[in-house]
Amino acid sequence: MELFLGLDLGTTGVKGILVDARGSLVAVHGERLSLSTPKPAWAEQNPNEWWSATLKVLKALSNRSREIGGRIRALATSGQMHSLVVVDGEGRVLRDAILWCDQRTYVECDEATNLLGGEEQVLKIVGNPILPGFTLPKLLWLRKNEPELYKRIYKVMLPKDFINYMLTGNIATDHSDASGTTMYDVFRMRWSEELLRTLKISTEILPEILPSNGIVGKVKRELAEELDLQDVIVVAGGADNACAALGVGVIEPGDVMVSLGTSGTVVAPTDVGSYDPMGRVHFFAHTVPNMRYHMGVMLTATYSLEWFKERFLEEGYDDINDCVARTPIGSNGIIFLPYLNGERTPHRDPHARGVIFGLSSFHSKWDVVRAIFEGVTFGIRDSFEILKELGLEPKNVRITGGGSKSKVWNQMLADALGVEIQKPLVDEGASYGAAILACSGYSKLDVRKVSKEWFKLRETTRPTPENRGAYDKVYARFKELYHVLKDTFREGQV
């Protein structure tokens, strides 16, 4: 039996899956990771810990493959976007990786934006604004604050590319991950010569860009013997959100992925080279050749519910869903703004905060919980409204992530968005998309063909037309409330 291995290097762990040539899930194994926060707003991880965890995952899956008489033909990696890894000429890690969620680089963002002629010009050059989460300002921060270390940089890598390097000894990235650095020209699909020249960054420190199903190399001989991965091909892989979209068949214009996890993302492929002129949604390269996608990001989706449950609820999720389903649309007048840690789409406002608005002595805790469900739903709708402004019409909407287990939440999204919500049979996130790339790279089959053949539908949630008007009214109040409080958020920061 031919098997393909998909690895996903996330912030909290490394997950690997084994899939057969028909896309059926054979095995799953994960290892936890720790996060370092040496200063307020900083977030770092040791890449060597990623590697140690990856070795454990690969060993476990290799053993499982042998037990069932299978043979792993290829593996591909997915990884957290934007995080910065730097190595010297010997391939040694120079410092801990600065992660996607690190917020230390506001000054560098402003400086780079000004040098490039302002945000409008930046959008024209690379298709995205320069934000603290992205790779470019982290590199500029290193140059300013750790100049001696910066001089020793041989190559800049993204997390999944570091794993590929450790596996093969070869350094490369792919288009989907490169596009999240703000050093990549999304229009021409290459490193931006104009940006790099203006900011005085040498192209020599940036890796070669391969297609997401391009071959980086084979697992090094000594590793192959240790892990029983002889003649296994390592395929470039892709950024986590792009791989997650690939894994649920979101690969063409009209397809949309809603990922309802700790954070919430909306991914919509496009074959038109257009960006959001207001920079509210990202514009990145997909894992599918010559395809791009828009992505909206809300920072606290299911985390909003987890936060409230941990502090105020004793009930389990089954009881929570039952009680929310019995509470009327509009939560008896309560509105929740899900901005516990600021917000990215559509507001790009780090000062925004969570709000429970409209409380009276009449209300029960279930009105508040229903409002949390609705507030997250409206945060997702914000991204949908922007996509429509950009001319993208959702047709196939597929949901993934922990929140998709809630039938109540799925129905709420279907009603508030006015679309059918499709739930995939296999919901393994980015690791499943990575396995698709491994299969495509090994077999030379078109990525689209593999993705379409592997996708299976578990169930569909259809909208209830009579509910749409009620949600529209609450959504209008939800949007208005943020704008009323916007200045107060900024003034209230300590």
Q: At a CB cut-off of 8 Å and minimum separation 6, what does 358 contact? A: 333, 334, 335
Q: Which of 148, 104, 109 is nearest to 130 (CA)?
A: 109
| Catalytic one of 161, 174, 185, 240 | 240
Can you read off the two tokens belonging to residue 47? 């890449």
Q: Give the Å distances, CA to CA, from 59 to 226, 267, 287, 434, 454.
A: 8, 33, 27, 18, 25
Rounded CA separation 163/169 (Å): 10
**Residue list, annotated binding site for substrate:** 81-82
> Cβ(173)–Cβ(208) under 8 Å?
yes
Rounded CA separation 353/20 (Å): 45
The dihedral through the CA atoms of 424, 425, 429, 434 has a sign that is: negative
Can you read off the two tokens belonging to residue 96? 């801990």
Which of left, alpha, beta for 174 (phi over 0: left; psi -120 to 50: alpha)?
beta
**Residue list, annotated binding site:** 81-82
> Cβ(87)–Cβ(170) under 8 Å?
no
> Cβ(298)–Cβ(345) under 8 Å?
yes
Active site residue 240: yes
Residues with active-site annotation: 240
